[in-house]
Amino acid sequence: MELVKGKNILITGASRGIGKGIAQTFAQHGANVAFTYSSSAGPAEELEQELTALGVKAKAYQSNAANFESAQQLASDVLEEFGSIDVLINNAGITKDNLLMRISEEDFDKVIEVNLKSVFNMTKAVQRTMLKQRHGSLIHMSSVVGVKGNAGQSNYAASKAGIIGFSKSIALELGSRNIRSNVIAPGFIETEMTEKLNNEEIIKAIPLGKLGSCSQIANLVSFLVSSNAGSYITGQTISIDGGMSI
């Protein structure tokens, strides 16, 4: 996958799950990876060592993407260490599921802050660098729930749908400077989170009859960030969900 070799990638929330899978795949194919974690210092350090052993530059940063000042500082630190930021992958996210009649204002606000405001914070933080470079690729991780909704996840669905509208607007604003903005909307992917779910019931709702993998997400990301293959794609939302959003 020469598409990502030599690029400097910044991923938020990559100590586990989809973010970790993207980091591993990119490093395996020659990309330098900066990634963030919130509290999982041990797993983050292990991942940094794993990626560095592949012969690329890799560094873990403890950072809160939902905090504007923290996002600004992170972008500055990564730029100083890596020299450029070619790709930003907004992956950090949480869930606090409940029916509308039971969900608290605090839980609604927290999900919007972590899932949606973090995308604004980080995109704003790297914008100046990408404008100076006159190139860049922004990938925002939404969800099948942001495309079609889901009972008991009104806060999560709102945050993930908001990402789609945000990305389209940024694509219009920055396209003239060769900066592309796209959304990936995964369905159910094999991660630590889905291990806790009733996969038999989930699979019944998936036309392809199986969960997706982190490597499949990473391969789609690599296609979109490529200066060749994905260079004419911006403002799009690509579902990778085994057909759930049909």
Q: Which residues are catalytic?
A: 156
Tokens of 205: 């709702």
Tokens of 39: 């509290």
Tokens of 81: 């260490």
Reported as half-sphere exposure (CB side, CA atoms, 13 A), residue 93 has a value of 25
Tokens of 219: 């391969």
Per-position DSSP letters for 32-69, written without gaps between them: EEEEEESS-HHHHHHHHHHHHTTTS-EEEEE--TTSHH
Max distance between CA atoms of the chain, in angstroms, equals 52
User: For 62-121, what is the HEC assignment?
Assistant: ECCCCCHHHHHHHHHHHHHHHCCCCEEEECCCCCCCECCCCCCHHHHHHHHHHHHHHHHH
CA-CA distance, 160 to 211, in Å (whole number)? 20
Question: Which residue is associated with the tokens 């942001």?
Answer: 146
CA-CA distance, 220 to 226, in Å (whole number)? 10
| CA 170 centroid distance within chain | 16
